[in-house]
Amino acid sequence: MRYYLKDGLQLARRQSFAIGVMFLFQFFWSMLFYQFIQDHVVSVMKRFPPQQLAIERVDLFLNESALLLFETELAQPFLWTLLFFILARFVISPFITAGVYDSLHSEGPRGTIFIQGMKRLSAFFTILFWLRSLLTAIPLYWLIPVAMQRITYADSYLSLALGLMPILLGMMVYSSLLKLIFIYIQLAKTTNTRLLMALLISFRHFLPICGLALIVFSVAAAFGLLVFTSSLYWAGFLALVIYLVYPLLQLALEVWGISVQYRFWQEKRL
């Protein structure tokens, strides 16, 4: 495993162009989405009755808000714009992912390879992206009613947390395993290999693949904890710089995780 982690890190270090594109997309999408939420949610919360007023004023505010939402078309522009943001992310993300995968596999100018990967793989990656999203959402059909029941009948925050913890952990494990399988399907398409081989390798070497992913996840979680802890002790300009750099580090670790699996895939498919 040490070989794949080290070699994958060296490969990821050469993907500065792909990481930069990912960062710019994340930055502009997040900035526009934050501005959209701020313009709508903050303006509504400013009308929320202050704590000094009676609870009846709060109930009146909530009832009037519900009446406006369900009996008028006031919420439609907000919902349509929210849907636009979600669809924009769902449409653009597969294109960027296709460029990243081709950058890992092909040699040449990084920018040219990235754009060629978007042209060559984006259609297939888009289908996989929507398919994985659908498969991830299917268990929610059974889990949401169970979660709502546990929320309704919980008699304390502790019992609520204990009741929801298995559901959240189960969804995290399920979505992570699904993501790993789809990574190998995407690697098969990128390297012009049969998709059946991707499934065979992912199931045959299931434990090493999960082990590599778990190591990368642990490193990313350690960096996240370090950033959070440092912000508590180093408030001010330094904390601001750390928070500005951290998203870029997250994307670099994400590319490293894909690079590690790519190196493992290269060896096992031969």
Q: Per-residue confidence of the chain (270 residues) as pLDDT tens digits? A: 788 898 889 999 889 999 999 999 998 998 888 888 877 777 666 666 666 555 656 666 666 666 666 666 666 777 788 899 999 999 999 999 999 999 998 888 888 899 999 999 999 999 999 999 999 999 998 988 888 888 777 777 778 788 889 999 999 999 999 999 999 999 999 999 888 899 999 999 999 999 999 999 999 999 888 888 877 777 666 667 777 788 889 999 999 999 999 999 988 876
Model pLDDT, residue 40: 74
205 HSE (CA, 13 A, CB side): 18
Q: What is the pTM of this model?
A: 0.86
pLDDT score of 114: 93
Q: Are 170 and 138 in contact (CB under 8 A)?
A: no
Q: Tell me, what's the pLDDT at 164?
A: 87
Which positions ≥6 away from 92 have C-beta within 8 Å? 25, 29
Instruction: Say which residue the tokens 């890190």 belong to.
Output: 9
Give the model's pLDDT for residue 59: 63
Interacting residues of 90 by C-beta distance below 8 A, sequence separation 6+: 129, 130, 133
DSSP state of 48: S
Q: Are 146 and 204 in contact (CB under 8 A)?
A: no
pLDDT for 152:
78
Helix axes 2-13, 237-268, angle to 10 degrees: 120
